[in-house]
């Protein structure tokens, strides 16, 4: 049986759909800010756990600048603890990190490139990567970037960029979007299928970059959203300096996937998601 942590988040929810027999825990079942009795909890399940997939994270990039301790507790210390328990129980550990561990100077990053995080959130995720690698051997450390998909069940979940754009389009005909921050984009359904492939095909343990092909600024993404949903919006490209935020972001942090079959383009994935999601 697969155990999913952070099961009510966007990615966790997708894994619950992908692995219908998996057991899902969220903060109510296990608060990762403490996570002291994880080993006993897993041993007490009565069924052998075959993999732990950790989708839980402190994900609020700007708020992390003020909540460093909590961000490190969940994104770093808890990851180290889970990794140690997985090693003890001889269970593979799948965990997710972010393109934000890179500083964006080089623009494109391979799996073995050296991180240089710019924000507290990114530092906490990089620390999680290091603790994971120190504490266990059977791991898939999967870096990904700008997720989109079905909304998280969690009551605290942030609104996705897609939702924000479509809500704004109901209220105004002119929208500004940042055009000088470039990321890879990832449809959670494609990410979950790739993770399923990693497990079932028994790929070697290690670091993987899983993102849809291509890259985009927030402006490019907004343009594609409005085109796919037939919204006539006057979309204005602006520099990130027009929207000052507490956390620094990389200018261009595109993840290169050099170890797995390439995923379809983010545009194709976005169109499929918007077509199948009637709420849009
Ligand atoms: N979203 C992106 O664009 C993006 C980009 C790159 C990498 N990633 C990484 O991908 C992974 C999945 O992200 P996501 O967007 O699916 O996350 P999400 O929707 O924000 O969900 C995060 C989950 O973590 C849980 N959580 C938070 N604090 C917790 C705690 N103290 N104890 C237990 N659970 C806790 C939340 O539970 P509650 O419901 O109780 O709050 C929620 O279910 C994360 O590792 C993230 O860093 C995401």
> What are the tens digits of pLDDT across the range 216-226?
999 999 999 99
What separation in Å is there between the alpha carbon of 23 and the centre of ligand 1? 17
pTM over 0.75: yes
pLDDT exceeding 70 applies to what percent of the chain? Answer: 97
Side-chain-side CA neighbours of 261 within 13 Å: the count stands at 10
Confidence of residue 270 (pLDDT cuts 50, 70, 90): very high
The answer, yes or no, to whether residue 158 has pLDDT greater than 90, is no
- What does residue 255 show for φ and ψ, rounded to 5 degrees? -90, 125
Q: Could you tell which of 24, 54, 59 is best to mutate to test the pocket of ligand 1, judged by most ligand atoms within 8 Å of the CB?
A: 59
Do the beta carbons of residue 38 and residue 218 sit within 8 Å?
A: no
Ligand 1 site, residue 216, Cβ cutoff 6 A: no
The answer, yes or no, to whether residue 67 has pLDDT greater than 70, is yes
pLDDT exceeding 90 applies to what percent of the chain? Answer: 86
The answer, yes or no, to whether residue 258 has pLDDT greater than 60, is yes
What separation in Å is there between the alpha carbon of 233 and the centre of ligand 1? 31
User: Can you list the domains of the chain with their CATH numbers?
Assistant: 2-147+185-209 (3.40.50.720), 161-183+214-254+263-276 (3.90.25.10)
> Three-class SS of residue 276?
helix
Beta bridge partners of 94: 53, 140
What separation in Å is there between the alpha carbon of 111 and the centre of ligand 1? 22
Confidence of residue 156 (pLDDT cuts 50, 70, 90): low
For the ranges 56-60, 88-92, 152-156, 159-163, the lowest mean pLDDT is seen at 152-156
Beta strands 182-183 and 216-217 are antiparallel
Confidence of residue 36 (pLDDT cuts 50, 70, 90): confident
């Amino acid at each position: 049986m697969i155990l999913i942590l952070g099961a009510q988040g966007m990615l966790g929810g997708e894994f619950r759909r992908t692995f219908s027999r998996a057991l899902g825990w969220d903060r109510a079942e296990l608060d990762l800010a403490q996570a002291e009795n994880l080993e006993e909890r897993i041993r007490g399940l009565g069924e052998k756990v075959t993999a732990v997939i950790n989708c839980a994270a402190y994900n609020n990039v700007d708020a992390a600048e003020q909540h460093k301790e909590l961000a490190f507790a969940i994104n770093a210390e808890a990851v180290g603890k889970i990794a140690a328990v997985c090693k003890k129980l001889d269970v593979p550990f799948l965990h997710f990190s972010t393109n934000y561990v890179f500083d964006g100077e080089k623009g494109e990053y391979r799996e073995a490139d050296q991180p240089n995080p710019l924000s507290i959130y990114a530092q906490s995720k990089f620390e999680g990567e290091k603790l994971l690698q120190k504490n266990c051997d059977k791991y898939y450390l999967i870096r990904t970037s700008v997720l989109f998909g079905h909304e998280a069940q969690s009551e605290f979940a942030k609104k996705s960029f897609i939702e924000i754009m479509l809500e704004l389009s109901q209220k105004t005909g002119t929208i500004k979007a940042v055009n000088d921050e470039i990321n890879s984009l990832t449809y959670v359904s494609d990410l979950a299928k790739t993770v399923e492939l990693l497990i079932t095909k028994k790929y070697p343990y290690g670091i993987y970059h899983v993102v849809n092909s291509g890259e985009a600024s927030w402006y490019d993404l907004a343009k594609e959203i409005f085109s796919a949903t037939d919204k006539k919006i006057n979309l204005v490209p602006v520099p990130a300096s027009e929207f000052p935020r507490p956390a620094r972001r990389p200018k261009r942090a595109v993840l290169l996937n050099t170890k797995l079959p390439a995923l379809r383009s983010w545009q194709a994935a976005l169109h499929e998601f918007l077509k199948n999601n009637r709420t849009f």
